[in-house]
Chain A
């Protein structure tokens, strides 16, 4: 069974930093692209970033370029999102998700809430 478990969310002040983690199990993590998708309170879904299986390619939505960094550790079956220079508009539930060839995003974690507020 595919499982994705996020952690690391919390309350942070504007301009601060936070690192999210996602522990993956139930599939061969090193074979899959992985994504972060966020959802602001009461709003829709926004894809944030994804990373190639070997970590050699990374892509970001324009609004987080230069502030967020996606990374992975295939030995630990883990995905990360380093978030710097956080803004109020980054407040959202952040989901870890698996990208599947020919499908798109097929599995989602439960999400972790990030609140940026003074």
Chain B
């Protein structure tokens, strides 16, 4: 199974400042079809997860453009250009390259 590892596990941030979360996989996430199925999810307190980014860098419907994703192979990054109060929560990376089996990172808590 592919193991997903996130750093840091907790990240204090300042409103209006950028934030960055890293995710690495135990093996390459490049699928045989050439795509890389790495997603980022946001979970606000008391809420279910919400998809932010898929296939490394594609923003899902309704996601603000202050969120961006990058990376390749085994190393990926989620960036928030200017943190807003509503961005507080836990962020997870998720691999879907091994579909139908999914695995998640441990989560990174973003706190003001």
Q: Which chain A positions have C-beta within 8 A of B49?
A: 37, 45, 95, 108
Distance A20 CA – B46 CA, assembled complex (angstroms): 20
Q: A59 to B48, alpha carbons, bound, how many Å?
A: 23
Which residues between 4 and 47 of chain A lie within 8 Å of chain B, taking CB atoms? 33, 35, 37, 44-47
Q: Which residues of the partner chain A approach B51 to less than 8 Å between Cβ atoms?
A: 103-108
State which size class the interface on B falls in. Answer: 20 to 34
Interface size on A, residues (CB 8 A): 24
Chain A interface mostly: strand
| Chain A positions near chain B (C-beta within 8 angstroms) | 33, 35, 37, 44-47, 50, 52, 57, 59, 61, 95, 99, 102-111
Contacts from B to A (Cβ < 8 Å): 35, 37, 39, 41, 48-51, 54-55, 60, 90, 92, 94, 96, 99-107
